[in-house]
Amino acid sequence: MNKSLFALPFLAFALIAAKPAPTSPPTPPVVLVTPAEVAADPANRWTLELSNGGKVVVQLRPDLAPGHVYRIQLLTTQGFYNGLTFHRVIPGFMAQGGDPKGTGEGGSTLPNLTAEFNDLPHLRGVTSMARTEEPNSANSQFFIMLAPKMSLDHKYSAFGRVIEGMATVDAIAVGEPPANPTRIARASIGGPLPAPPVIAATPVPEATSAPAPAAASPPTTPPAPAAEPAPEAAPPVEGVPDPSPTEPVPQEAPQPQ
pLDDT digits (tens, 9 = 90+) for 188-226: 999 999 999 998 654 434 433 333 344 444 444 444 444
What confidence category does residue 28 fall into, taking pLDDT thresholds of 50, 70 and 90? Answer: low
Quote the Cα angle for 61-66-70, to 5°. 95
Predicted confidence (pLDDT) at residue 146 exceeds the cutoff of 60: yes
Domains of the chain: 47-189 (2.40.100.10)
Burial class (CB in 10 A: 0-12, 13-18, 19+), 221: exposed
User: What pLDDT does residue 240 have?
Assistant: 75
Share of the chain above pLDDT 70, in %: 68
pLDDT digits (tens, 9 = 90+) for 33-71: 999 999 999 999 999 999 999 999 999 999 999 999 999
Selected residue with higher pLDDT from 20 and 98: 98
User: What pLDDT does residue 89 have?
Assistant: 98
pLDDT (average), residues 24-38: 78
What rounded mean pLDDT belongs to the chain?
A: 80
Share of the chain above pLDDT 90, in %: 65
- Indicate the range of 54-68, 153-167, 243-257 predicted with least confidence: 243-257
- What is the torsional sign of CA 7, 9, 10, 16? positive
Classified as helix, coil or strand, 143 is strand
Provide the Cα torsion 140, 146, 152, 157; round to 10°.
30
User: What pLDDT does residue 128 have?
Assistant: 98
Q: Using an 8 Å Cβ cutoff, are 151 and 65 in contact?
A: no
CB atoms within 10 A of CB 18: 7
CB atoms within 10 A of CB 128: 29
- Indicate the range of 13-27, 74-88, 132-146, 189-203 predicted with least confidence: 13-27
In 3D, which of 77, 80, 115 has the Cα closest to residue 99?
80
User: What pLDDT does residue 256 have?
Assistant: 45
Predicted confidence (pLDDT) at residue 9 exceeds the cutoff of 50: no
